[in-house]
């Protein structure tokens, strides 16, 4: 299986179309082909085509989405990228560690790496979709790379990770389907169910949520729950929502 083909690069809210073209070129040179755009400010654009150069064929098929969740449909592992640490710390991975984790997980199905806006990066809500953040350890005095340059560095690491993989199989291949890691869609369904239930139980005040859901996402995200485990947790939520039997 070509693991790089299973790896989506998702650009969120890109404002400069030249960066979209340059990102397509960066990907194609490293053997990546699944580029997706979420709410680009200007696209399609002649600037994108010009910067893509010999990767302009990729741009012809690039899907554009309004919602990040649509671009992520069917994905297992989702990682984000950020030039800086956030206030409430997300688990952080090096470019090498992040690429290895993605390539490893790609053996079990599609995975994604998100890139943010040129001005403001990814929002906290978008980062909530990510299990961890990859930061290129750039110079502290100026750590923010051009978007397409960041795509190039991480595409290169993904290529190295894919080339280094010796075994054709992922550990997940040997598992029955119910023991494989739950997909991002299934996790989102669980988090929505959890939030609704906590509100119903008066544990979570929607007017004063105090990062509770973000902290719980972090907790569950660290454990890579399986399909079966998510089903158990959702069964517990349904039971809790109904209250005690007598
Ligand atoms: N001021 C923004 C900079 C965004 S740069 C911020 O602090 O988030 C645009 C995008 O390029 C980022 O969202 C990220 O996807 C990528 N990027 C830039 N520098 C990076 C770095 N050092 N490590 C990882 N990704 C980086």
What's the 3-state SS for 198-224? Answer: HHHCCCCCCCCCCCHHHHHHHHHHHCC
* Rounded distance from Cα 81 to ligand 1 centre (Å): 6
| Nearest protein Cα to ligand 1, atom 8 | 121
Give the predicted TM-score (pTM) of the model.
0.81
Helix (H) or strand (E) holding 20: helix 17-29
* Sequential DSSP letters for 146-164: -HHHHHHHHHHHHHHHHHH
Q: Do 165 and 1 contact (CB within 8 A), yes or no?
A: no
Choose one of 120, 142, 150 to mutate for the ligand 1 pocket test, by most ligand atoms within 8 angstroms of C-beta.
150
Q: What is the pLDDT of residues 169-227, one digit of tens each?
A: 566 667 888 998 898 889 999 999 999 999 999 999 999 988 999 999 999 988 889 99
CATH of span 175-242: 1.10.8.590
Pairing of strands 92-93, 132-134: parallel
For residues 103-123, one letter each, b for 16 or more C-beta atoms within 10 angstroms of the residue's C-beta and e for the rest, the string is bbbbbbbbbbbbbbbbeebbe
Name the token pair of 134: 């990859």
CA-to-CA distance for 7 and 2, rounded, in angstroms? 9
Q: How far apart (Å, rounded) are the C-alpha atoms in residues 169 and 124?
A: 34
CATH of domain 2-171: 3.40.1280.10
- What pLDDT score does 171 carry? 64
Pocket probe mutation, ligand 1, options 38, 40, 80, 83, max atoms within 8 Å of Cβ: 83
Domain boundary assignment for the chain: 2-171, 175-242
Q: Using 50 as the pLDDT threshold, list the residues of the chain that sit under it.
A: none
Ligand 1 pocket by Cβ (under 6 Å): 81-84, 115-116, 118, 120-122, 134-136, 138, 143-145, 147, 150
Distance 33 CA to ligand 1 centre (A): 21
Can you tell me which atom of ligand 1 is nearest the CA of 144? 19
- Between the CA of 205 and the centroid of ligand 1 the distance, in Å, is 33
């Amino acid at each position: 299986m070509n693991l790089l083909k299973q790896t989506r690069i998702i650009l969120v809210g890109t404002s400069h179309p030249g960066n979209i073209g340059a990102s397509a070129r960066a990907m194609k040179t490293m053997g990546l082909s699944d580029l997706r755009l979420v709410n680009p400010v200007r696209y399609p654009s002649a600037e994108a085509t010009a910067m893509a150069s010999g990767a302009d064929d990729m741009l012809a098929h690039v899907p554009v989405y309004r919602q990040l969740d649509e671009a992520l449909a069917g994905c297992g592992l989702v990682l984000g990228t950020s030039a800086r640490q956030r206030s409430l710390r997300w688990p952080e991975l090096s470019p090498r560690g992040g690429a290895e984790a993605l390539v490893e997980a790609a053996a079990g199905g599609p995975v994604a790496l998100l890139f943010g806006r040129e001005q403001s990066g990814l929002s906290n809500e978008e980062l909530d979709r990510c299990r961890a953040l990859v930061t290129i350890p750039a110079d502290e005095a100026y750590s923010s790379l051009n978007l397409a340059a960041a795509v190039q560095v991480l595409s290169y690491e993904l290529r190295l990770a894919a080339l280094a993989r010796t075994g054709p199989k992922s550990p997940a291949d040997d598992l029955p389907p119910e023991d494989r890691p739950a997909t991002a869609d299934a996790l989102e369904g669980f988090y929505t169910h959890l939030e609704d239930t906590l509100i119903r139980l008066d544990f979570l005040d929607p007017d004063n949520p105090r990062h509770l859901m973000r902290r719980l996402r972090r907790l569950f995200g660290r454990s890579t729950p399986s399909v079966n485990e998510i089903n158990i947790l959702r069964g517990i939520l349904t039971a809790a929502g109904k209250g005690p039997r007598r």
